[in-house]
Amino acid sequence: MSFLERILSNPQEYTLDVEKLGECKIPSPIRNRSDFIQDHERIIVTENQKLLHFLTKKLGEEPSFERAGPHQKIFHDPAWSRVAIVTAGGLCPGLNHVIKGLVEILTFDYNIRTIYGIRYGYAGLIPSYGYEPLMLNPDNVDTIHEKGGTVLGSSRGQQDTSELVDTLVRMNINLLFCAGGDGSLRCAHDIAMECKNRKLNISVVGIPKTIDNDLQFVGRSFGFETAVLEATNIIRAAHTEAKGTFNGIGLVKLMGRDSGFIAAYATLANPVVNFCLIPELDFELDGKHGLLEALNRRFLSGKDHCVIVVAEGAGQKLIADEPIRKDASGNILKKDIGEFLKNRITAYFQETKQIASVKYFDPSYTIRSVPARGTDAIRCYMLARNAVHAAMAGRTDCVVGNQNDWYTLVPIKLATLERQKVSLSSDLWRALMDATGQAVYFNGRAKVVDAVLP
């Protein structure tokens, strides 16, 4: 069953409406504002008219999400509010920007002074770990955005939901913010459900942290643009190395466990790339239309160098004989396609008695550890700002997204239902095929599958 079919088959379970704790009765302490939003303000989920018409026909109304922003009446009393902020999962550019944004909006807009930074992800809410929370304020977060990583630390691994909520209750927390990706947001959803079952008025709001840009309906997630920018320098170096020797091959592995957005965008941003391999592309290694013959074909055509960009989740079927390993969160760890390709390409040219030199680059940890740059940093602050406004208005079990210039509130269950992937019939992929010319080297047989709306 496709992603859309799952939603349409059970619209009540996969609702586009965000959970509310109750009626907003408290006047907002924000003064001199002209941008208060109304509860009925909604943002259409897509500008694709064909898709919009299809969804409207099936749902009986235009599909839309609640617009994010400050409300004139709020649910939580700022004078009694206590906040916890969690950063979970892998590192990502912009985490410190998000933390700073949350603290500043909570303090300056709502005058909330009790803000706990939970150490090392959700583990910081489990007493047995003994991680003491940090007290956060505008002064001690003033310059954290200049550094990569997260001042709170992070961790992977599933924790007991009931124990997490017990800690929130003991700490009298009524606002919980989680900056996390797919797994971390699922945990936030479980916390929200446990709070609902216990009839606790705790707002649980997520900020979408996925460097792979693979969450549904949230637009471009923070950290992604910075990752593409950082990858540019690596690809440039790979190109220089490739040109530095006859039949030189610069091989770059970029992040992207299940979705190839970073590899695709970095390739388009650097037209020196000749092959881009992503998890969505079912490519072969051997045979007439495999990658090895495609490389040979490029060299035989008179080109004396080549640059390959591969996403970490690409080509996993090619190394299926290696044992399956999982991380602390239960995610299947991808096998090292970069090292595998380096060895196989080297062996191929040795066996065919041809000159070739492979230079392999794996910058994953370097890229994800830098601070956010440019518009990426702006997106961090805007996501944090709208997360605070949503929580104060009693919204819960939601994640902040953005549609162009608009910010929206998306139910976590919907955002994490299925990973967003690169469509091989999209303008993005077709532009990439034009930029690389890899279809020519695959002998006109690069595999492009047209996606058809149901």
Cα dihedral 105/106/110/112 (nearest 10): -150
Q: If residue 189 lies in a helix (H) or strand (E), which one and from where to where? A: helix 182-197
Give the residue extent of every domain in the chain: 3-222+372-415, 225-368+423-441
Per-residue pLDDT tens over the stretch 391-402: 999 999 999 998
Helix (H, G, I), strand (E, B) or coil at 254: strand
- The CATH code for residues 3-222+372-415 is 3.40.50.450
Over residues 256-266, mean pLDDT:
93
DSSP for 326-385, written as a single string: E-TTSPEEPP-HHHHHHHHHHHHHHHTT---EEEEE--HHHHHTSPP-HHHHHHHHHHHH
Alpha-carbon distance of 194 to 178, in angstroms, equals 16
Whether the pLDDT of residue 150 is over 90: the answer is yes
- 218 pLDDT band, cuts 50/70/90, is confident
Average pLDDT, the chain: 89
**Side chain identity at 71, as an amino acid letter?**
H
Report CA-CA distances (Å) from 195 to 162, 164, 183: 9, 10, 19
Percent of the chain having pLDDT more than 70?
Answer: 90
Which CATH homologous superfamily contains domain 225-368+423-441? Phosphofructokinase domain (3.40.50.460)
The count of other CB atoms within 10 Å of the CB of residue 333 is 11
> Active-site residues: which are they?
212
Least confident of 33-37, 88-92, 233-237, 412-416: 33-37
Q: Give CA 367 to chain center in angstroms.
A: 14
Over residues 256-261, mean pLDDT:
91
Over residues 47-53, mean pLDDT:
69
Whether the pLDDT of residue 200 is over 70: the answer is yes
Whether the pLDDT of residue 259 is over 70: the answer is yes
Residue 330: what pLDDT? 58
